[in-house]
Chains A and B, each alone.
Chain A
Amino acid sequence: MPDSPSDERADDAYGAPYDLAVIGAGCAGLTGAVTASELGLSVALLDTSGQVGGQFYRTPAPALGAVRPEALHHDWSAFADLRRRLEASAVVHLAGHHVWTVARGSEGDTEWVVHAVTGVDGCGERPVRVRARTVLLATGASERQLPFPGWTLPGVVGAGGAQAMLKSGLVLPGRRVVVAGSGPLLLAVASSLAAAGARVPAVVEASGYLGYARRPGALAANPHKLAEALVHGAALLRHGVRLRTRSAVTRVHGTARVEAVTVSRVDRDWRPVQGTGRRIACDALAVGHGLVPQTELATSLGCATRRTPDGTYALELDGLQETSVPGLWAAGETGGIGGAQLARTEGAIAGTAAAARVLGQPALTRSRRVRELRRRRDRMRAFADTMAAAHVPGPGWVQWLNDATDVCRCEEVTAGAIREAVADYGARDARTVKLLTRAGMGWCQGRMCGAAVACLAAGPGAASVPPSPERRPLAVPVPLGVLGALDPDEADGPVS
Chain B
Amino acid sequence: MVGAACAYYAARSGLHVTVIDRGPVAGGTTGAGEGNLLVSDKEPGPELDLALLSTRLWRTLSGALPPRIEYEAKGGLVVASGEAGMAALRDFAERQERAGVKTEEVTGDRLHDLEPHLAQGLAGGFHYPQDAQVQPALAAAHLLRAAGEQASGRARLRLRLGEKVTGVLKGANGEVRGVRTVSGDLHAPYVVNAAGTWGAEVARLADVHLPVLPRRGFVLVTEPLPRVVRRKVYAADYVADVASGSAALQTSAVVEGTPAGPVLIGASRERVGFDRTLSVEVLRRLAAQATRLFPMLADVRAIRTYAGFRPYLPDHLPAIGPDPRVPGLLHACGHEGAGIGLAPATGLIVAGILTGEELPLDIDPFRPDRFGGAR
| A residues with CB within 8 A of B | 101, 103, 113, 115, 122, 300-302, 411, 421, 424-429, 431-432, 435-436, 438, 441-443, 445, 471-474, 477-481, 483-486, 488, 491-492, 495-496
Please state if B280 and A115 are interface contacts (CB–CB under 8 Å): yes
Please state if A480 and B301 are interface contacts (CB–CB under 8 Å): yes
Q: In the complex, what's the smallest C-beta–C-beta distance from B265 to chain A, in angstroms?
A: 8
Within 8 Å by CB of B287, from A301, A426, A442, A483, lies: A483
A-B contact list, 30 entries, CB within 8 Å = A113-B280, A302-B277, A411-B260, A425-B25, A426-B141, A426-B144, A426-B159, A431-B24, A432-B24, A435-B26, A436-B25, A438-B260, A441-B262, A441-B304, A442-B224, A474-B278, A480-B290, A480-B301, A481-B287, A481-B298, A484-B298, A486-B284, A488-B285, A491-B280, A491-B284, A492-B281, A495-B249, A495-B281, A496-B275, A496-B279
Cβ of B181 within 8 Å of any chain A Cβ, yes or no, is no
The bracket for how many chain B residues form the interface is 35 or more
Given contacts A479-B300, A481-B298, A492-B279, contact A435 B137 (CB under 8 A): yes
User: What residues of chain B lie closer than 8 Å to A425, measured between beta carbons?
Assistant: 25, 141-142, 144-145
Cβ of B288 within 8 Å of any chain A Cβ, yes or no, is yes
Closest to B265 in A: A480
Closest to A429 in B: B24
Please state if A480 and B24 are interface contacts (CB–CB under 8 Å): no
User: What residues of chain B lie closer than 8 Å to A488, measured between beta carbons?
Assistant: 281, 284-285
Cβ of B162 within 8 Å of any chain A Cβ, yes or no, is yes
A429 to B23, CA, bound (A): 9
Complex interface bits, B279-301 against A, C-beta within 8 A gives 1, otherwise 0: 11101111111110000011111
Cβ of B222 within 8 Å of any chain A Cβ, yes or no, is yes
Please state if A435 and B138 are interface contacts (CB–CB under 8 Å): yes
A280 to B186, CA, bound (A): 58
Please state if A481 and B291 are interface contacts (CB–CB under 8 Å): yes
Please provide the 7 A-B residue pairs with the shortest distance between their CB atoms, ordered closest to farther.
A481-B298, A426-B25, A484-B288, A435-B137, A483-B287, A484-B287, A477-B301
Which residues of chain B (215-272) have a CB below 8 Å from chain A? 220-224, 248-249, 260, 262, 265, 270, 272
Which among B23, B162, B287, B297 has the greatest number of chain A C-beta atoms within 10 A?
B287
A115 to B24, CA, bound (A): 34
Q: In the complex, what's the smallest C-beta–C-beta distance from B365 to chain A, in angstroms?
A: 32
User: What residues of chain A lie closer than 8 Å to B137, measured between beta carbons?
Assistant: 432, 435-436
Cβ of B274 within 8 Å of any chain A Cβ, yes or no, is no
A301 to B260, CA, bound (A): 30
Within 8 Å by CB of B272, from A113, A479, A483, A496, lies: A496
Please state if A428 and B301 are interface contacts (CB–CB under 8 Å): no
Please state if B223 and A443 are interface contacts (CB–CB under 8 Å): yes
User: What residues of chain B lie closer than 8 Å to A443, measured between beta carbons?
Assistant: 223-224, 303
Please state if A431 and B281 are interface contacts (CB–CB under 8 Å): no
Please state if A435 and B162 are interface contacts (CB–CB under 8 Å): no
A425 to B145, CA, bound (A): 7
A115 to B145, CA, bound (A): 44
Q: A427-B25, A472-B304, A491-B281 are in contact. List 15 more A-B contacts (CB 8 A).
A: A113-B280, A426-B25, A431-B31, A432-B31, A432-B137, A435-B26, A436-B26, A436-B138, A443-B223, A443-B303, A474-B278, A474-B305, A477-B303, A484-B284, A492-B279
Please state if A432 and B290 are interface contacts (CB–CB under 8 Å): no
Cβ of B306 within 8 Å of any chain A Cβ, yes or no, is yes
Cβ of B122 within 8 Å of any chain A Cβ, yes or no, is no
Cβ of B65 within 8 Å of any chain A Cβ, yes or no, is no
Please state if A480 and B145 are interface contacts (CB–CB under 8 Å): no
A87 to B42, CA, bound (A): 63
Cβ of B188 within 8 Å of any chain A Cβ, yes or no, is no
A411 to B291, CA, bound (A): 26
A127 to B342, CA, bound (A): 40
| B residues with CB within 8 A of A | 23-27, 31, 137-138, 141-142, 144-145, 159, 161-162, 220-224, 248-249, 260, 262, 265, 270, 272, 275-281, 283-291, 297-307
A491 to B283, CA, bound (A): 9
User: What residues of chain B lie closer than 8 Å to A428, measured between beta carbons?
Assistant: 23-24, 161-162
User: What residues of chain A lie closer than 8 Å to B285, measured between beta carbons?
Assistant: 488
Closest to A473 in B: B278
Closest to B272 in A: A496
Which among A301, A495, A496 has the greatest number of chain B C-beta atoms within 10 A?
A496
Closest to A479 in B: B301
Q: Majority SS of interface residues in chain B?
A: mixed
A472 to B276, CA, bound (A): 11
Q: In the complex, what's the smallest C-beta–C-beta distance from A137 to chain B, in angstroms?
A: 16
Please state if A424 and B277 are interface contacts (CB–CB under 8 Å): no
Please state if B298 and A479 are interface contacts (CB–CB under 8 Å): yes
Q: In the complex, what's the smallest C-beta–C-beta distance from A44 to chain B, in angstroms?
A: 18
User: What residues of chain A lie closer than 8 Å to B31, measured between beta carbons?
Assistant: 431-432, 435
Within 8 Å by CB of B283, from A477, A479, A483, A496, lies: A483
A283 to B248, CA, bound (A): 59
Q: In the complex, what's the smallest C-beta–C-beta distance from B293 to chain A, in angstroms?
A: 11
Within 8 Å by CB of B291, from A427, A480, A491, lies: A480
Given contacts A432-B24, A435-B137, contact A484 B290 (CB under 8 A): yes
Q: In the complex, what's the smallest C-beta–C-beta distance from B59 to chain A, in angstroms?
A: 23
Given contacts A101-B280, A432-B26, contact A480 B303 (CB under 8 A): no
Closest to A490 in B: B280
Given contacts A425-B25, A427-B24, A427-B25, contact A103 B280 (CB under 8 A): yes
Closest to B263 in A: A480
Closest to A117 in B: B301
A495 to B319, CA, bound (A): 31
A301 to B26, CA, bound (A): 25
User: What residues of chain A lie closer than 8 Å to B299, measured between beta carbons?
Assistant: 479-481
Closest to B68 in A: A436
Please state if A474 and B302 are interface contacts (CB–CB under 8 Å): yes
Q: In the complex, what's the smallest C-beta–C-beta distance from A298 to chain B, in angstroms?
A: 12
User: What residues of chain B lie closer than 8 Å to A445, measured between beta carbons?
Assistant: 303-304
Closest to A474 in B: B305
Q: In the complex, what's the smallest C-beta–C-beta distance from B130 to chain A, in angstroms?
A: 26
A486 to B279, CA, bound (A): 13
Please state if B287 and A300 are interface contacts (CB–CB under 8 Å): no
Please state if B278 and A300 are interface contacts (CB–CB under 8 Å): yes
User: What residues of chain B lie closer than 8 Å to A101, measured between beta carbons?
Assistant: 278, 280
User: What residues of chain A lie closer than 8 Å to B279, measured between beta carbons?
Assistant: 492, 496
User: What residues of chain A lie closer than 8 Å to B288, measured between beta carbons?
Assistant: 483-485
Q: In the complex, what's the smallest C-beta–C-beta distance from A469 to chain B, in angstroms?
A: 13
User: What residues of chain B lie closer than 8 Å to A478, measured between beta carbons?
Assistant: 301-302
Which among A477, A484, A491 has the greatest number of chain B C-beta atoms within 10 A?
A484
Which among B25, B27, B283 has the greatest number of chain A C-beta atoms within 10 A?
B283
Please state if B260 and A426 are interface contacts (CB–CB under 8 Å): no
Please state if A480 and B260 are interface contacts (CB–CB under 8 Å): no
A455 to B285, CA, bound (A): 38
A141 to B208, CA, bound (A): 49
Within 8 Å by CB of B298, from A122, A471, A480, lies: A480
Please state if A436 and B297 are interface contacts (CB–CB under 8 Å): no
Given contacts A428-B162, A496-B272, contact A103 B278 (CB under 8 A): yes
Please state if B280 and A480 are interface contacts (CB–CB under 8 Å): no
Q: In the complex, what's the smallest C-beta–C-beta distance from A176 to chain B, in angstroms?
A: 35
Q: In the complex, what's the smallest C-beta–C-beta distance from A351 to chain B, in angstroms?
A: 27
Given contacts A473-B306, A474-B305, contact A486 B298 (CB under 8 A): no
Please state if B297 and A480 are interface contacts (CB–CB under 8 Å): yes
Given contacts A115-B280, A481-B298, contact A426 B161 (CB under 8 A): yes
User: What residues of chain B lie closer than 8 Å to A485, measured between beta carbons?
Assistant: 288
A425 to B265, CA, bound (A): 27
Given contacts A432-B31, A435-B137, A436-B138, contact A477 B26 (CB under 8 A): no
Closest to A496 in B: B272
User: What residues of chain B lie closer than 8 Å to A432, measured between beta carbons?
Assistant: 24-27, 31, 137
User: What residues of chain A lie closer than 8 Å to B275, measured between beta carbons?
Assistant: 496
Q: In the complex, what's the smallest C-beta–C-beta distance from B147 to chain A, in angstroms?
A: 12
